Structure 1
Amino acid sequence: MSDASEVLVAHGGIAHLSTLRSHGVRPEHLRKLLDARLLVRPRQGWYALPSTAPELLQAVTVGGQVSCVSALRLWEVWCIDDHRTHVRVPSNAARLSKPRTVVAHCAAHPGVDRSSAIVGIVEALAQAFTCLSRENIIVALDSALNKGLISPHQLTEIRGLVARRYHPYFRPVDGERESGLETKCVLRLHRLNIRCRVQVRIPGVWPG
Structure 2
Amino acid sequence: MSRHLALLQWVRERNGVAHTSAARAAGFSKLDVARAVELGLLRRVRRSWVVAPDADPRRAAAAAVSGRTTCVTQAVLLGLWVPNHDGVHVAVASNAARFDAAGLVVHWGAGPAPVAATSNEDPLVNVLFHAARCLPRTEAMVVWESALRVRLADAAVLQAVQWGSPAARELADAASFLSDSGLESRFIAGMRALGVAVRQQIWLDGHPVDVLIGERLVVQLDGFAHHRAADRRRDIAHDARLRLRGYTVLRFDFQQVLFDWAYVEETVVLAIAQRLHVAAR
Q: TM-score range by the shorter chain?
A: 0.7 to 0.9
The answer for the alignment partner of 2:132 in structure 1 is 129
Inter-CA distance 131–56: structure 2 relative to 1 (3 Å threshold)? same
Please state how far the C-alpha of 1:41 moved relative to its aligned partner.
0.6
The answer for the alignment partner of 2:251 in structure 1 is 192
2:44 is paired with a residue whose SS is strand
Inter-CA distance 154–194: structure 2 relative to 1 (3 Å threshold)? closer
Inter-CA distance 194–170: structure 2 relative to 1 (3 Å threshold)? closer
Number of residue pairs matched by the alignment = 186
Verify: 1:149 aligned to 2:152, yes or no. Answer: yes
Please state how far the C-alpha of 1:10 moved relative to its aligned partner.
2.7
2:134 is paired with a residue whose SS is coil
Q: Show the 5 A alignment for 1:1-208.
A: 3-93=6-96, 97-108=99-110, 113-157=116-160, 160-163=163-166, 164-167=169-172, 169-174=174-179, 183-185=225-227, 192-193=251-252
1:126, 1:158 within 8 Å by CA — same for their partners in 2? no
Question: Matches of 1:34 and 1:194 in 2, distance apart?
Answer: 54
Question: Matches of 2:253 and 2:105 in 1, distance apart?
Answer: 38
Return the index of the structure with the highest Cα Rg. 2
Please state how far the C-alpha of 1:124 moved relative to its aligned partner.
0.5
Please state how far the C-alpha of 1:5 moved relative to its aligned partner.
2.3
Please state how far the C-alpha of 1:156 moved relative to its aligned partner.
2.4
TM-score by length of 1: 0.74
1:8 is paired with a residue whose SS is helix
Please state how far the C-alpha of 1:171 moved relative to its aligned partner.
4.3
2:45 is paired with a residue whose SS is strand
The amino acid that maps onto 2:10 is V
Q: CA RMSD in A?
A: 3.3
Structure ranking higher in strand proportion: 2
Deviations 1:142-192 (A, max 9, x none): 22122232234443245745314445542432499xxxx971339x98x93
Unaligned runs of 5+ in 2: 182-222, 236-249, 255-281
The answer for the alignment partner of 2:245 in structure 1 is none
**Percent identical across equivalent pairs?**
24
Structure ranking higher in helix proportion: 2
Please state how far the C-alpha of 1:129 moved relative to its aligned partner.
0.8
2:49, 2:66 within 8 Å by CA — same for their partners in 1? no
Question: Matches of 1:73 and 1:108 in 2, distance apart?
Answer: 20
Inter-CA distance 36–81: structure 2 relative to 1 (3 Å threshold)? farther
TM-score by length of 2: 0.56
Deviations 1:60-91 (A, max 9, x none): 21232211111111111111231211111111
Question: Matches of 2:51 and 2:180 in 1, distance apart?
Answer: 34
Question: Matches of 1:170 and 1:49 in 2, distance apart?
Answer: 38
